[in-house]
Amino acid sequence: MIGLARGVFAPDLPASRPELAALCQAIQEALDLTGREFDLHVAGDGAIEALNREFLGLPGPTNILSFPAEDPDRPDYLGEMALSLDAVSREAFLYGQPPGLHMARLLAHGFLHLAGLDHGPLMESLTETAAEAAADRLGLAD
């Protein structure tokens, strides 16, 4: 399920439910996670900051949070992610990147955490490969 918080607006991002679904599907295909279920909550910095504090004990907002599933009765369920559109827009501007490509990068990173990967060279490589493949497929690299 893809949930969008009320009042979150980012016209430069593929942030409607159909756009997010297509982006997530393209990323899942690139990562060989097709058919795996997940929940994505899209919000602003305030909601992400609250989750970051509650679950990780960290102050301030972040860009994406991943909560891998721990339910053996649902082997196809990857878990939940929370994405801040505020952070995506801000970071894309700061890094001089196309916003859609940066969003794809963060979502690929989140999916890899759900799949059990930790930070490191393998995760970085898979993140870039999946983000670029999805962005190219959907025309988000410009």
Q: What would the pLDDT profile of 36-76 be if each residue is shown by its tens digit?
A: 999 999 999 999 999 999 999 999 999 999 999 988 899 89
- The CA distance from 96 to 76, in Å, is 36
Structure tokens at 66: 């991943």
Query: To 10 degrees, the CA torsion angle through 26, 14, 90, 8?
Result: -130
| Strands 2-4 and 64-68, sheet pairing | unpaired
The CATH architecture assigned to 2-138 reads 3-Layer(aba) Sandwich (3.40)
CA angle 93, 25, 32 (to 5 degrees): 110
Cβ proximity of 33 and 111 under 8 Å: yes
In the block, residue with structure tokens 């679904």: 21
pLDDT for 88-123, tens place per residue?
Answer: 999 999 999 999 999 999 999 999 999 999 999 999
pTM value is: 0.93
